[in-house]
Protein backbone atom coordinates (compact mmCIF):
# COMPACT_ATOMS: atom_id res chain seq x y z
CA UNK A 1 0.00 0.00 0.00
CA UNK A 2 1.19 3.50 -0.78
CA UNK A 3 -0.17 6.60 0.88
CA UNK A 4 0.55 10.10 -0.38
CA UNK A 5 -0.19 13.44 1.20
CA UNK A 6 -0.72 14.81 -2.34
CA UNK A 7 -0.60 12.88 -5.59
CA UNK A 8 2.51 13.54 -7.70
CA UNK A 9 1.75 14.92 -11.13
CA UNK A 10 3.63 12.25 -13.06
CA UNK A 11 2.65 9.13 -11.12
CA UNK A 12 -0.34 8.45 -13.38
CA UNK A 13 1.90 8.04 -16.40
CA UNK A 14 3.56 4.71 -15.67
CA UNK A 15 5.79 4.67 -18.72
CA UNK A 16 7.28 8.10 -18.20
CA UNK A 17 11.06 8.21 -18.49
CA UNK A 18 12.76 10.50 -16.01
CA UNK A 19 16.17 12.00 -16.67
CA UNK A 20 19.03 10.57 -14.65
CA UNK A 21 21.11 12.90 -12.47
CA UNK A 22 24.23 10.99 -13.56
CA UNK A 23 26.42 11.93 -16.52
CA UNK A 24 27.38 9.10 -18.84
CA UNK A 25 30.50 9.56 -20.97
CA UNK A 26 30.55 7.88 -24.33
CA UNK A 27 32.10 8.04 -27.77
CA UNK A 28 30.63 10.52 -30.25
CA UNK A 29 29.00 7.82 -32.40
CA UNK A 30 27.34 6.25 -29.35
CA UNK A 31 26.19 9.66 -28.20
CA UNK A 32 24.59 10.35 -31.60
CA UNK A 33 22.81 6.97 -31.48
CA UNK A 34 21.52 7.73 -27.99
CA UNK A 35 20.27 11.19 -29.02
CA UNK A 36 18.51 9.78 -32.08
CA UNK A 37 16.96 7.02 -29.99
CA UNK A 38 16.01 9.52 -27.26
CA UNK A 39 14.19 11.79 -29.69
CA UNK A 40 12.20 8.80 -31.00
CA UNK A 41 11.31 7.77 -27.44
CA UNK A 42 10.31 11.34 -26.57
CA UNK A 43 8.05 11.51 -29.64
CA UNK A 44 6.46 8.15 -28.74
CA UNK A 45 6.08 9.20 -25.11
CA UNK A 46 4.59 12.54 -26.05
CA UNK A 47 1.96 10.96 -28.30
CA UNK A 48 1.22 8.32 -25.66
CA UNK A 49 0.68 10.97 -22.97
CA UNK A 50 -1.61 13.02 -25.21
CA UNK A 51 -3.58 9.90 -26.17
CA UNK A 52 -4.25 9.09 -22.52
CA UNK A 53 -7.91 9.62 -21.61
CA UNK A 54 -7.24 10.18 -17.90
CA UNK A 55 -6.50 13.72 -16.74
CA UNK A 56 -3.08 14.31 -15.18
CA UNK A 57 -2.82 14.48 -11.41
CA UNK A 58 -2.18 17.87 -9.80
CA UNK A 59 1.42 19.00 -9.41
CA UNK A 60 3.33 18.96 -6.14
CA UNK A 61 3.66 22.44 -4.65
CA UNK A 62 5.60 21.57 -1.50
CA UNK A 63 7.62 18.76 0.04
CA UNK A 64 5.45 15.71 0.67
CA UNK A 65 5.70 12.67 2.88
CA UNK A 66 5.28 9.26 1.27
CA UNK A 67 4.50 6.23 3.41
CA UNK A 68 5.15 2.77 1.96
CA UNK A 69 3.59 -0.25 3.65
CA UNK A 70 4.14 -3.85 2.58
CA UNK A 71 1.12 -6.15 2.66
CA UNK A 72 0.54 -8.22 5.78
CA UNK A 73 1.39 -11.92 6.01
CA UNK A 74 -0.38 -13.94 3.31
CA UNK A 75 -1.26 -17.61 3.18
CA UNK A 76 1.71 -18.23 0.88
CA UNK A 77 4.06 -16.29 3.18
CA UNK A 78 2.90 -18.58 5.98
CA UNK A 79 3.55 -21.69 3.86
CA UNK A 80 6.96 -20.44 2.70
CA UNK A 81 5.84 -20.18 -0.93
CA UNK A 82 7.21 -17.74 -3.47
CA UNK A 83 4.44 -15.34 -4.54
CA UNK A 84 5.72 -12.83 -7.03
CA UNK A 85 2.78 -11.24 -8.82
CA UNK A 86 0.50 -14.27 -8.50
CA UNK A 87 -2.85 -13.53 -6.90
CA UNK A 88 -3.62 -16.89 -5.27
CA UNK A 89 -2.92 -15.98 -1.65
CA UNK A 90 -4.87 -13.86 0.79
CA UNK A 91 -4.06 -12.28 4.12
CA UNK A 92 -3.93 -14.57 7.12
CA UNK A 93 -5.37 -13.49 10.48
CA UNK A 94 -1.82 -12.51 11.41
CA UNK A 95 -1.58 -10.45 8.19
CA UNK A 96 -4.81 -8.63 9.02
CA UNK A 97 -3.49 -8.00 12.53
CA UNK A 98 -0.26 -6.60 11.04
CA UNK A 99 -2.30 -4.28 8.81
CA UNK A 100 -4.32 -3.15 11.83
CA UNK A 101 -1.08 -2.44 13.71
CA UNK A 102 0.08 -0.31 10.76
CA UNK A 103 -3.27 1.52 10.78
CA UNK A 104 -2.89 2.29 14.48
CA UNK A 105 0.66 3.56 13.91
CA UNK A 106 -0.57 5.93 11.17
CA UNK A 107 -3.88 6.93 12.76
CA UNK A 108 -2.77 10.47 13.65
CA UNK A 109 -1.30 11.13 10.20
CA UNK A 110 -3.28 12.84 7.45
CA UNK A 111 -3.27 11.37 3.95
CA UNK A 112 -5.04 12.68 0.88
CA UNK A 113 -4.72 9.59 -1.27
CA UNK A 114 -3.97 5.88 -1.05
CA UNK A 115 -2.57 3.63 -3.78
CA UNK A 116 -2.47 -0.16 -3.81
CA UNK A 117 -1.47 -2.89 -6.21
CA UNK A 118 -4.40 -4.91 -7.60
CA UNK A 119 -3.26 -8.04 -5.75
CA UNK A 120 -5.81 -9.21 -3.17
CA UNK A 121 -3.32 -9.29 -0.29
CA UNK A 122 -2.23 -5.70 -0.99
CA UNK A 123 -5.75 -4.38 -1.52
CA UNK A 124 -6.94 -5.93 1.76
CA UNK A 125 -3.97 -4.44 3.64
CA UNK A 126 -4.77 -1.03 2.14
CA UNK A 127 -8.47 -1.37 3.04
CA UNK A 128 -7.62 -2.07 6.68
CA UNK A 129 -5.14 0.80 6.92
CA UNK A 130 -7.28 3.29 4.95
CA UNK A 131 -10.19 2.43 7.26
CA UNK A 132 -13.41 4.44 7.16
CA UNK A 133 -12.15 7.21 4.86
CA UNK A 134 -14.59 8.08 2.10
CA UNK A 135 -11.97 8.44 -0.65
CA UNK A 136 -11.39 5.38 -2.81
CA UNK A 137 -8.14 3.44 -2.79
CA UNK A 138 -6.54 3.86 -6.21
CA UNK A 139 -5.34 0.60 -7.70
CA UNK A 140 -2.26 0.73 -9.92
CA UNK A 141 -1.09 -2.34 -11.86
CA UNK A 142 2.52 -1.11 -11.79
CA UNK A 143 2.63 -1.48 -8.00
CA UNK A 144 2.43 -5.29 -8.24
CA UNK A 145 5.34 -7.42 -7.16
CA UNK A 146 7.53 -8.62 -10.02
CA UNK A 147 6.62 -11.69 -12.08
CA UNK A 148 8.64 -14.67 -10.93
CA UNK A 149 7.13 -17.03 -13.52
CA UNK A 150 8.05 -20.66 -12.82
CA UNK A 151 9.30 -19.85 -9.30
CA UNK A 152 5.83 -18.69 -8.20
CA UNK A 153 3.97 -21.17 -6.01
CA UNK A 154 7.21 -23.04 -5.31
CA UNK A 155 8.38 -23.53 -1.78
CA UNK A 156 11.13 -21.02 -1.03
CA UNK A 157 13.42 -23.59 0.61
CA UNK A 158 13.78 -25.38 -2.75
CA UNK A 159 15.79 -22.37 -3.92
CA UNK A 160 17.85 -21.86 -0.80
CA UNK A 161 20.90 -22.96 -2.81
CA UNK A 162 21.23 -19.32 -3.70
CA UNK A 163 22.34 -18.77 -0.10
CA UNK A 164 23.73 -22.26 0.54
CA UNK A 165 25.07 -24.16 -2.48
CA UNK A 166 25.75 -27.29 -0.37
CA UNK A 167 22.05 -28.23 -0.61
CA UNK A 168 22.52 -28.98 -4.32
CA UNK A 169 24.94 -31.78 -3.48
CA UNK A 170 22.34 -33.55 -1.34
CA UNK A 171 19.65 -33.67 -4.06
2-7+58-170 is classed CATH 3.40.50.1240? yes
DSSP 16: P
Q: Which helix (H) or strand (E) segment is 103 a member of?
A: helix 93-106
Distance of alpha carbon 121 from alpha carbon 81, whole angstroms: 14
| Domain boundaries, given as residue ranges, for the chain | 2-7+58-170
Residue from 100, 145, 153, 171 carrying the catalytic annotation:
145
Task: Reply yes or no on whether 145 is catalytic.
Answer: yes
**What is the average pLDDT score of the chain?**
73
pLDDT band at residue 14 using 50, 70 and 90 as cut-offs = very low
Residue from 71, 100, 127, 153 carrying the catalytic annotation:
71
pLDDT band at residue 7 using 50, 70 and 90 as cut-offs = very low
Task: Reply yes or no on whether 33 is catalytic.
Answer: no
pLDDT tens for 104-119 read 999 999 898 999 999 9
Of the chain, the percentage scoring pLDDT greater than 90 comes to 35
Q: Which helix (H) or strand (E) segment is 113 a member of?
A: strand 113-116
Helices (H), 27-89: 28-51, 75-79
Annotated binding site for substrate: 70-77, 121
Distance of alpha carbon 167 from alpha carbon 142, whole angstroms: 35
Rounded to two decimals, the pTM is 0.57
pLDDT of residue 147: 76
Distance of alpha carbon 58 from alpha carbon 124, whole angstroms: 27
Annotated binding site: 70-77, 121
With contact defined as beta carbons under 8 Å apart, do 86 and 120 qualify?
Answer: no
Determine the 3-state secondary structure of 156 from DSSP: helix
With contact defined as beta carbons under 8 Å apart, do 153 and 130 qualify?
Answer: no
Amino acid sequence: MLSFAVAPSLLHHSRLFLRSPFTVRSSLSSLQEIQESKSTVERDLSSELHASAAPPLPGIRAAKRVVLVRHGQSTWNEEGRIQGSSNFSVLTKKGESQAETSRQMLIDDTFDICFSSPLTRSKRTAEIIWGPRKDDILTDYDLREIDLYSFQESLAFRYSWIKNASILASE
